[in-house]
Amino acid sequence: MQHSDITSAFSAVLLNLVPVFTAPSAQSFVAMAWGWVLCLGRPTMPRIVRCAGARATKHVTSYNRLLSQGAWDLDDLWRLLLVRVVLPLLAPCGDLLLAADDTTTHRFGRAVAFAGWFRDAVRSGTGKDVKHWSHCWVLLCLHVRVPLWPEHVISLPVLAALYRKEKDCTPEHPFRTRQGLLLDMLGKVRRWVPDRVLRLVADGAYPSEELCRGLQGEVPFVSRIRRDAALYRLPVQPRRRRRGRPRLKGERLPSLEHIARRARFRHATILRSGEARPVLLHSFVTLWWSVAKGRPIRVVIVRDPLGKEHDDFFFSTDPEARPEDIATDYASRWPLEVTIRESKQSLGFQRVQGWCPKTVERHAPMALLLLTAVKAAYLTTVRKPDSDAPPPFHAMLLSLRLADWDARINALSLPRREMRQFRGAVAILLASAA
């Protein structure tokens, strides 16, 4: 991969997004995007402008106003990123696997809009809940497999929504649960790409009656099921019609752990973490009345053949789905967690500085949007893989930063040997910062 290739690819990605803005705002957006990905510290606007270099031709307040007062729609930016960049380059055909989760981003200051006390999942543990002053974001990521690494899943953020507590809601922005925000984002994706089949995977905090009712069986949903879930057999209607309302559910089943002790497993292979792993599977169709009501679901019990791991319990709202596909889909959810960590460590997702309402809603999602842009630029320019697994995001970001620095250095300004040493020093500096 030539250094100029990734810079050109990243510029092309940004060029696909500028129709959202007016001409002056488009120039500010491109400069801010370049400054953000080149910034080695906290992405405050003064640092971003300094890192943009000659690309930033305006005062720093102009870039602040782009976020706090600009007349552009963040949803339009996400739509162009998905429709013009991600899908044509990385997922031109086939079903789209979407993964959802929520995360908190630590903030300082009581005047920060929409901030509140939320559970810190990183520092909390069994019997210990740690809360911190933060924002809560619900993320929707597209999971793709590229030809260079067909067995590995790459997670690309395509939408983000800010969760507001009831005290922060208004008639224009009524209160929405995390499941409600997820439904809103899924509705947007379905409007943007109506000709593609969507599949959804999320962790065990998201199965709810609200979500399953909103999906209406049109988007298959895979998640973890509670071990103490109240499951029922499918109703069996009597041969002769009786008086009264027909039965909606059959008799209640024992607990999942009790079923697993008596189940007859079969050997299968699923794809997890880029490897084909042997497992034991047992599945059955049932009713989870408190979540899916009368819509049948397929429950899958996954057991480790070596007995080193505890049994896992998953379900899908598509009762016709193959048990292997359900287990593989849930295993492919993990790259979303990696993406959240990457956005916080490399692009300052949780270290943005804005505090007014509109800036809060735009500033942090910009880090997720640029993460997708950098990944798309890298994946479309790399020709020969260096390993059996895709590189981590900080390595992709380092490639872009090195390419930009290469373009800034005049090859004739120093003798060849000294220039090679100078480039090596710059590479070490950028690698240590990344």
Q: Would you call 257 helix, strand, or coil by DSSP?
A: helix
Q: How many CA atoms lie within 13 A of 218 on its CB side?
A: 11
pLDDT along the chain (434 residues), means of 10: 78 96 95 93 90 90 93 96 96 95 89 91 83 94 93 95 93 93 97 96 95 93 95 85 81 95 94 90 96 95 93 96 96 95 93 88 95 96 85 92 79 68 69 56
Give the pLDDT confidence score for residue 278 in this predicted structure.
Answer: 94
| Residue 194 structure tokens | 């109506």
220's CB contacts (< 8 A; 6+ apart) are: 199, 200, 316, 317, 318, 321
Give the pLDDT confidence score for residue 248 in this predicted structure.
Answer: 87
Give the pLDDT confidence score for residue 4 in this predicted structure.
Answer: 64
For residue 317, the Cα-to-chain-centroid distance in whole angstroms is: 21
Residue 96 pairs with which residues in a beta bridge? Answer: 198
Q: How many CA atoms lie within 13 A of 17 on its CB side?
A: 30
Give the pLDDT confidence score for residue 381 in this predicted structure.
Answer: 92
Q: Are 295 and 217 a contacting pair, CB within 8 Å?
A: yes
Provide the strand spans (E) within 166-273: 198-202, 221-224, 231-232, 266-272
| CA distances in angstroms from 283 to 12, 218, 325, 362, 382, listed in the order given | 47, 22, 12, 43, 41
CA-nearest of 93, 102, 117, 122 to 196 is 93
- Kindly report the number of other CB atoms within 10 A of residue 345's CB atom: 15
Global pTM? 0.91
Backbone φ, ψ for residue 244 (5° rounding): 95, 175
Q: Are 251 and 233 a contacting pair, CB within 8 Å?
A: yes
H-state helical runs in 39-155: 45-52, 60-68, 74-80, 87-90
- Parallel/antiparallel/unpaired status of strands 131-146 and 221-224: unpaired
3-state DSSP of 344-365: HHHCCCCCCCCCCHHHHHHHHH
Give the pLDDT confidence score for residue 73 in this predicted structure.
Answer: 95
Give the pLDDT confidence score for residue 433 in this predicted structure.
Answer: 59
